[in-house]
C-alpha cells in the first residue's frame, strides 16, 4: 500500500460536510470521490507489485488478457476493445511488452492488414508470478469480507451498466 497520509481526519468526509453546507446533499459527491481515491490507492499498490517484474498494472492486464485467449494471441484492435482503452494506448502498451520480451507482434493471418499480439513463455511466467503476488495482497481488498467485495462489485457494476460500459444483464 502507499505511504499513509498523516491526517487525523478523513478529508473526503470533511469535504462532504463543507459541500452540504454550501451546495446541499453530498452523498453522491462523497461516494464518487471515495471511488476515485480508492482507485488511486489500488493502482499504486498494483503498480508497486508489478514494478519489480518490469511491468505496470496496465501491461500486466494485457498479458492476462492474452493468457485468457485460446491461442495466447489477439488482434491489436481486440486488445484495446477488451481492456476499454484507446487503440493508441493498446499499441503503446504492447510495444513496451514486446521490448521486454513478454509479447511478440506478428501479422494476423486472418486479416492481411492487422497485427496480432502473442504472449511469450516469459510473458506467461511473469503473469504467474505477479498474479500470485496480487492474490496474496488480496488485490488490495483485504479490509473487506468476501461478501462485501461481491457487494462492491455489484454496486459498481450497476453504475457501469448505466453508463453503457457493456451490454447485457446487470
For every residue of 94-124, DSSP letters joined together read HHHHHHTTSEEEEEETTEEEEEEEEE-HHHH
Distance between CA atoms of residues 60 and 135, nearest Å: 14
pLDDT higher than 90, residue 3: no
CB neighbours of residue 169 within 10 Å: 5
Task: Specify the CATH architecture of the domain 53-162.
Answer: Orthogonal Bundle (1.10)
Residue 2 has pLDDT above 70, yes or no: no
40 burial type by CB count under 10 A (0-12 exposed, 13-18 middle, 19+ buried): exposed
Report the alpha-carbon angle 18-21-25, nearest 5: 95
Domain map of the chain by residue range?
Answer: 53-162
Single out the residue of 85, 72, 82, 169 nearest to residue 121, CA to CA.
72
For 16, 19, 108, the CA distances from 27, given in Å and listed in that order, are: 7, 9, 49
pTM: 0.86
More confident site: 4 or 159? 159
Residue 53 is placed in which grid cell? 517484474
Average pLDDT, the chain: 93
Decide if 105 contacts 77 (C-beta within 8 A): no
Q: What is the pLDDT of residues 132-159, one digit of tens each?
A: 999 999 999 999 999 999 999 999 999 9
Amino acid at each position: 500500500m502507499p505511504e499513509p497520509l498523516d491526517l487525523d481526519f478523513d478529508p473526503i468526509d470533511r469535504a462532504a460536510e463543507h459541500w452540504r453546507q454550501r451546495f446541499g446533499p453530498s452523498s453522491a459527491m462523497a461516494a464518487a470521490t471515495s471511488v476515485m481515491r480508492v482507485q488511486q490507492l489500488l493502482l499504486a499498490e498494483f503498480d508497486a507489485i508489478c514494478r519489480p517484474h518490469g511491468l505496470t498494472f496496465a501491461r500486466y492486464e494485457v498479458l492476462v488478457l492474452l493468457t485468457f485467449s485460446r491461442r495466447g494471441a489477439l488482434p491489436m484492435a481486440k486488445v484495446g476493445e477488451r481492456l476499454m482503452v484507446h487503440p493508441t494506448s493498446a499499441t503503446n502498451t504492447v510495444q513496451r511488452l514486446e521490448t521486454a520480451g513478454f509479447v511478440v507482434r506478428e501479422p494476423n493471418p486472418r486479416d492481411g492488414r492487422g497485427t496480432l499480439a502473442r504472449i511469450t513463455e516469459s510473458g506467461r511466467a511473469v503473469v504467474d508470478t505477479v498474479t500470485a503476488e496480487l492474490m496474496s495482497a488480496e488485490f488490495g481488498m483485504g479490509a473487506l469480507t468476501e461478501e462485501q467485495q461481491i457487494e462492491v462489485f455489484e454496486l459498481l457494476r450497476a453504475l457501469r451498466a448505466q453508463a453503457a460500459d457493456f451490454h447485457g444483464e446487470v
